[in-house]
């Protein structure tokens, strides 16, 4: 057990080494007790080389202290709390201004406690931060065709700024705390799809897409949206120091929305040439397989429903034979238009064969996919193609599959949908069938 003498020494050393200045004063500022850090900070300020009185020692940088304490009438309490005293202005480029922080606590009618610390570094950082903020504000004020949106790890919008209102018309109340899905038209983004983009931004350093965004009134505009992860710099060891490594990594993002409505046609025609079927305007095989592979990989990373519908125009060969190929083409264009009108923007509609279309429905379960496919089938049945006054009616059949953990890949998914489609055809056409185990395959193979 430690002796009283040893404990006394330990206590002394504790006070000697405290990394903050501590002093006990009489009411007139006379120093009764003081620790070394106080002396380190105060001695360079003391004009007479003494440390008998704190008010005298601080006379040059805080002449009001004596008066402040004398006029404090409460029997006890905080006289000043972390008041900042500027020691010098620093030399620009050479040394930073030195700032002391002073707290004065009145204990009773006879005693004051003072806490003194050097906060120069902290003040410097605060100023830097203010400067950065001012810079950012200046940039945000001056931007006209960009909206800058800070997002948290879940894609929630953390702050509002004027650039958002300028580009989207959405005001602060409409934005803060909401998911960044509010910038997209309904049906253009799923919850999982939004999370995917954040994940892909983490993986690749960015996520860039072109597509429709939504304005406050509900109108759409063509925009490019760029998401970049923001990483808190780990280099500030002196400040954050060892604390930083223990903190969970703070994922946040910056979303930049750029209105490129006037460039839509150019960019769309470029995109179409590459990725669209020239006859119908929907996605071509290549675009479909790319998109489907991406969706499957997303699903494997974070499981969510994914459905695929294969549609086939019934008895299409006889339409061609009877009316000729131009009419057949018109029917296919009509079919494609019906598909685009029925399904969401986020769904991928593609022509993958002569009269065969595929629709990939992200984040969609089998019953939901079935309902949508059935809506399409009924809409086609109820409509017709008008060619030179001749009404041509046709029907379609569909086969649906939902991806599950047992699906090895895109090939198998398509085979299953194809088997369901075959069953729909066998059962008399103009109907939708869902895949179930035991369904037999028909002959045609669909592979990229």
The residues that touch other proteins, with contacts defined as CB under 8 A, are 8-9, 12-13, 15-17, 19, 31-41, 43-44, 46, 49-52
Give the number of other Cβ atoms within 10 Å of residue 316's Cβ: 18
CB 372 within 8 A of CB 343: yes
Q: Centre a 10 Å sphere on the Cβ of residue 333 and count the other Cβ atoms it contains.
A: 15
- Residue number with CB closer to other proteins (39 or 291): 39
Residue 35 or residue 225: which is nearer to other proteins going by CB?
Answer: 35
> Tokens 């991928």 appear where?
348
Closest CA to 171 of 160, 182, 181: 160
Cα distance between residue 347 and residue 360, in whole Å? 6
Closer to other proteins by Cβ: residue 38 or 439? 38
Nearer to other proteins by C-beta: 15 or 366? 15
- Compute the least distance from the CB of residue 87 to other proteins, in Å: 11
- How many other C-beta atoms can be found within 10 angstroms of the C-beta atom of residue 220? 15
- Those residues whose C-beta lies under 8 Å from the C-beta of residue 297, and which sit 6 or more positions away, are none
Residue 245 burial (C-beta neighbours within 10 Å; 0-12, 13-18, 19+) = exposed
- DSSP class of 90: -
Nearer to other proteins, 20 or 275 (CB): 20
Long-range contacts, 413-417 (Cβ 8 Å, 24+): 413/292, 413/296, 413/308, 414/308, 414/310, 414/358, 414/446, 414/447, 415/441, 415/446, 417/308, 417/309, 417/310, 417/358
CB of 168 to other proteins, least distance (A): 55
The smaller minimum CB distance to other proteins, of residues 102 and 194, is found at 102
Nearer to other proteins, 30 or 290 (CB): 30
């Amino acid at each position: 057990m430690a002796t009283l003498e040893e404990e006394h020494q330990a206590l002394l050393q504790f006070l000697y080494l405290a990394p903050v200045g501590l002093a006990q004063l009489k009411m007139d500022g006379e120093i009764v007790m003081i620790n070394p850090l106080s002396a380190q900070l105060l001695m360079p300020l003391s004009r007479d080389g003494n440390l008998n009185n704190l008010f005298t020692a601080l006379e040059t940088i805080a002449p009001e202290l004596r008066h402040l304490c004398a006029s404090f009438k409460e029997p006890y309490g905080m006289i000043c709390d972390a008041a900042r005293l500027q020691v010098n202005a620093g030399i620009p480029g050479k040394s930073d201004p030195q700032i002391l922080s002073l707290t004065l606590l009145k204990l009773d009618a006879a005693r004051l406690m003072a806490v003194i610390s050097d906060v120069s570094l902290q003040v410097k950082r605060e100023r830097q931060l203010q400067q950065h903020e001012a810079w950012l504000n200046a940039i945000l004020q001056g931007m006209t065709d960009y909206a800058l949106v800070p997002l948290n790890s879940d894609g929630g919008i953390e702050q509002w700024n004027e650039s958002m209102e300028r580009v989207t018309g959405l005001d602060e109340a409409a934005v803060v705390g909401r998911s960044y899905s509010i910038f997209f038209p309904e049906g253009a983004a799923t919850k999982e799809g939004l999370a995917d983009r954040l994940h892909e931004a983490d993986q690749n350093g960015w996520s860039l897409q072109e597509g429709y965004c939504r304005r406050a009134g509900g109108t759409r505009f063509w925009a490019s949206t760029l998401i970049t992860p923001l990483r808190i710099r780990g280099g500030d060891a002196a400040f954050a120091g060892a604390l930083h490594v223990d903190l969970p990594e703070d994922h946040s993002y910056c979303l930049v929305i750029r209105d490129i409505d006037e460039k839509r046609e150019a960019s769309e025609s470029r995109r179409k040439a590459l990725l669209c079927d020239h006859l119908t305007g929907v996605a071509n095989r290549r675009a479909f397989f790319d998109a489907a592979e991406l969706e499957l990989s997303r699903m494997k990373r974070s499981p969510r429903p994914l459905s695929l519908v294969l549609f086939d125009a019934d008895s299409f060969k006889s339409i061609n034979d009877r009316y000729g190929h131009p009419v057949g083409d018109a029917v296919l264009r009509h079919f494609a238009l019906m598909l685009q009108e029925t399904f969401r923007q986020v769904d991928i509609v593609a022509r993958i064969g002569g009269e065969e279309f595929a629709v990939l429905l992200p984040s969609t379960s089998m019953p939901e996919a079935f309902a949508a496919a059935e809506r399409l089938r009924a809409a086609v049945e109820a409509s017709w193609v008008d060619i030179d006054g001749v009404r041509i009616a046709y029907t379609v059949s569909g086969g649906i599959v939902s991806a599950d953990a047992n699906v090895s890949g895109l090939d198998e998914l398509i085979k299953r949908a194809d088997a369901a489609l075959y069953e729909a055809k066998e059962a008399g056409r103009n109907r939708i069938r869902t895949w179930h185990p035991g369904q037999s395959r028909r002959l045609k193979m669909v592979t990229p």
